[in-house]
Amino acid sequence: MLKAKIGALAATAVAAIGFVWIPAIAQEATAPVVAAAPALPYSHQWRLEVSEGANNDGVMHFRITPQGGTPIDIPVRLKEGRGEDGCSRDIKAAFKAALDRKIYKVEGDDEEDVLVKKRTGPDFAIELVESTVKGTRVNLDRE
């Protein structure tokens, strides 16, 4: 009986003051889960193995990230009909134009491969971020 009186008094007090009693509903917050970016693989030297020619005009977007440094984006434009060796030469030329020659050495190997080596400074990662070129594949190998 005491509980009933206390409940009635509380309801009367709430009504008299003009408040509405709304019970709190506990809900579990559902924040989107963001996966951590995978750690970049670093090396002092990379081999870019080019396979197949370009089946369309397009762009391959590479990114070089020195360990602890600022990423360097390198777009490589390839023309339709360009063969495997020609694509390799275009990639090599774009890397040579974009990278500081005091820090990186870029050279061709076996006609279809491009070697990128550090001369000085930290190890670095290379990624193929995006490609609109059909047919041409680039395998990135740490050496």
Report the chain's mean pLDDT, rounded to a whole number: 85
Answer yes or no: are the C-beta atoms of 115 and 109 closer than 8 Å. yes
Answer yes or no: are the C-beta atoms of 100 and 36 closer than 8 Å. no
The owner of tokens 């990624």 is: 127
Query: Which range (9-23, 30-44, 72-86) has the least confidence?
Result: 9-23
Residues 39-90 pLDDT 10s: 899 999 999 999 999 999 999 999 999 999 999 999 999 999 999 999 999 9
pTM across the whole model: 0.74
More confident residue, 38 or 34: 38
Answer yes or no: are the C-beta atoms of 50 and 90 closer than 8 Å. no
Answer yes or no: are the C-beta atoms of 63 and 127 closer than 8 Å. yes
Look at residue 91 in the predicted model and tell me its pLDDT.
Answer: 98
Residues 111 and 115: their CA atoms lie apart, in Å, by 11
Whether 4 shows a pLDDT value over 70: the answer reads: no
Give the pLDDT band (50/70/90) at residue 32: low
